Every structure is written in C-alpha cells, then in structure tokens.
Amino acid sequence: MNDLRLGLALREARIRRRLRQCDLAAQAGVSATLVSRLEHGELDLFSLRALRRVAGKLGVSLDLMPKSAGGDLDRMVNARHAALGELVAAWIACRPGWLVAAETSFAIYGERGIVDLLAFHEATGALVVIELKTAIIDLDELIGTLDRKRRLASRIAAGRGWSARSVSTWLVVAHSRTNRRRVADHRTLLTSGLPLDGRSFASLFVHPERGPISGIAFWSNLNGVKVGHPIAAVGRVVKSRRVVGGPRPRSGLGGSAAT
C-alpha cells in the first residue's frame, strides 16, 4: 500500500463529497488534525480500525495485500487456490454427465470477473456456480460477488454453448479451524443465502434435477497437494471412476434440503 497515494485518494473522495476535514473527522470520530495528516500520507498515526472508519465514511473500501520481495506470498496463495480448484474439479468430473470449466472470465454490461469453477449437466441443464475460498476474510464482499456471478451465470454459460435451465451456487471453503470459526461467527448471514451443508448440496451432482439450490462446504485434504499445471476446462464428459484417497466435501452449515 502506497501511503501517499492512499492519502491523496481519500482527499479526492472527501472533496467530491463536499466535506471539510472537520466534517469527516466528526463523522469518523477522529480529530481534524489526524484527517489532515492522513491525507498527507502519514498513515503511521492511524490504527487500522480508525483508517477503515474514515475510508468507510467516504464510501471507500480498503484491501490490504501482503507482498514479499520475491513474490513468494502471492505464489503460495495462488498455489493453494489452484490446489483447491483441482480437487473440487476432479471430484465433479467423476460424477457422470457433468462438465467442468475452470477460471471462466466474463464481461457483461460492464460487469467483469472470473468464475472459479462452472459445472454443467447437459442432460438436465443444471448449472452450478462454484466460488473457491482458501480463507474467509470479507463476508459482505464474498456474498455480493457470489450473488453477482449467480445472476450472470446463464449468460456466462451461454458463451460456452451451455443452455442452463437452473442455476445453483456452491461456496467451497478450504477446511481449517480458522475458516470454520469465521463461518460460525457469521452463521445467520451465510445460512440466509447458502442454506445447505456440504453433504446436502453434494447430492445435486447425483440428482441434478433438484436445482436450483445453494450451499456451503468445507473441503479437506488440501494440505500437501502437489500443484502442477493449472486445471483446464473439461471439454468432454468424464466417465465415473473412483478416486483413490480423493477428498470429500464436508458438512458446512446446517440447513434443511431444498424441495
């Protein structure tokens, strides 16, 4: 994060909202002097909580991205995400009649993004939008992103020649104590949009006519997975086969099965 650039960006946001420094300070519960120093890039004087509070009053979200000199952290995060994608895609590909496409990009009416995994059952037209998370950080952003992809899913699938009759959404989270705790902390928020647990949702891949449904699953066996080439879109139906030692989706949040 470039301190000076951030300060200038927040100053511009304040001016656009026609706020004085003292106005912003009063709204954020800090002193006008601190706001002034913030706009000059003196971030060391701010706690992270105060910084986010000031930014929030301006309608600005802050994403802190850790970086290392050699880029090792980025590679580790990407490798873990790719490993999770490979496990989930391999599991789905073993279900008869399902196709899987990875890293499907879209640009529809100015909305852009990438769907981690898109699964399609041609015989029933069941489409599943799958969001992969190795860490749960921002729940509001996560839910908003998943909802946007669900809303655009039929158009995204049409670009691949897939005609969706139902659209289901599945949040797959790498199993860890931290992720389980964070999900439990936001149980009410998550169950409202993702009511089914891992086992309940997994039945969709046996009975695709059940869609549309939505749910969350924790995925185990991620540690120690070797990541080679990135997974590619599966362009054919893979015959059902048993994966020795393959991972299984674990139960996520409780919830009754959709009817």
**pLDDT at res. 176:** 86
Same domain, 37 and 147: no
Distance of CA 28 to the CA centre of its chain: 29
Is 169 in the same domain as 245? Answer: yes
Same domain, 93 and 202: yes
Q: Which domain holds residue 104?
A: 72-250
Domain end residue (candidates: 33, 57, 81): 57
DSSP H or E stretch at residue 22: helix 21-28
Asked if residue 85 and residue 17 are part of one domain, the reply reads no
Say if 62 falls within a structural domain.
Answer: no
Q: Say whether both 44 and 84 belong to one domain.
A: no
Residue 82 inside a domain? The answer is yes
- 64 domain-assigned: no
Q: Which of 18, 33, 57 is the last residue of a domain?
A: 57
Q: What is the pLDDT of residues 209-256, one digit of tens each?
A: 988 999 999 988 655 443 333 333 333 333 444 444 445 565 554 333
| Pair 106, 193 in one domain | yes
Helix (H) or strand (E) holding 114: strand 111-121
The verdict on 107 and 195 lying in the same domain is: yes
pLDDT at 122: 94
Can you give the CATH number for the domain in which 225 is found? 3.40.1350
Q: How far is CA 109 from the centre of its chain?
A: 21
> Cβ(38)–Cβ(51) under 8 Å?
yes
Q: Using N-to-C axis directions, what is the helix angle for 32-39 and 3-16, rounded to 10°?
A: 120
Residue 84 sits in the same domain as residue 192: yes
Residue 110 lies in a domain: yes
- Whether 93 and 153 share a structural domain: yes
Q: Which long-range contacts (CB under 8 A, 24 or more apart) does 80-83 make?
A: 80/134, 80/174, 80/222, 81/132, 81/134, 82/227, 82/230, 82/231, 83/222, 83/225, 83/226, 83/227
Please give the backbone phi and psi of residue 15, each rounded to the nearest 5 degrees, phi first.
-65, -40
Last residue of a domain, one of 57, 80, 103: 57
Within this chain, do residues 82 and 198 fall inside the same structural domain, yes or no?
Answer: yes
227 found inside a domain: yes
CATH number, domain of 24, equals 1.10.260.40
Domain annotation covers residue 245: yes
Q: How far is CA 186 from CA 105, 129, 136, 233, 253, in A?
A: 29, 21, 11, 33, 10
Number of domains in the chain: 2
Asked if 136 and 182 touch (Cβ cutoff 8 Å), the reply is yes
131 & 246 share domain? yes
Residue 177, in any domain of the structure: yes
256, HSE (Cβ side, Cα atoms, 13 Å): 2
Shared domain for 41 and 144, answered yes or no, is no
User: What pLDDT score does 125 carry?
Assistant: 95
Residue (of 220, 256, 194, 177) closest to 87 by Cα position: 220
Q: Residue 259 falls within a domain, yes or no?
A: no
Per-residue pLDDT of the chain in tens (259 residues, 90 and over written 9): 577 888 888 888 899 889 999 999 999 998 888 889 888 888 887 788 888 888 888 888 776 665 555 445 455 567 888 889 999 999 999 999 999 999 888 888 878 888 999 999 999 999 999 999 988 877 777 888 888 899 999 999 999 999 999 999 999 999 888 888 888 888 888 888 899 988 899 999 999 998 899 999 998 865 544 333 333 333 333 344 444 444 556 555 433 332 2
**Structure-token pair, residue 24:** 């912003």
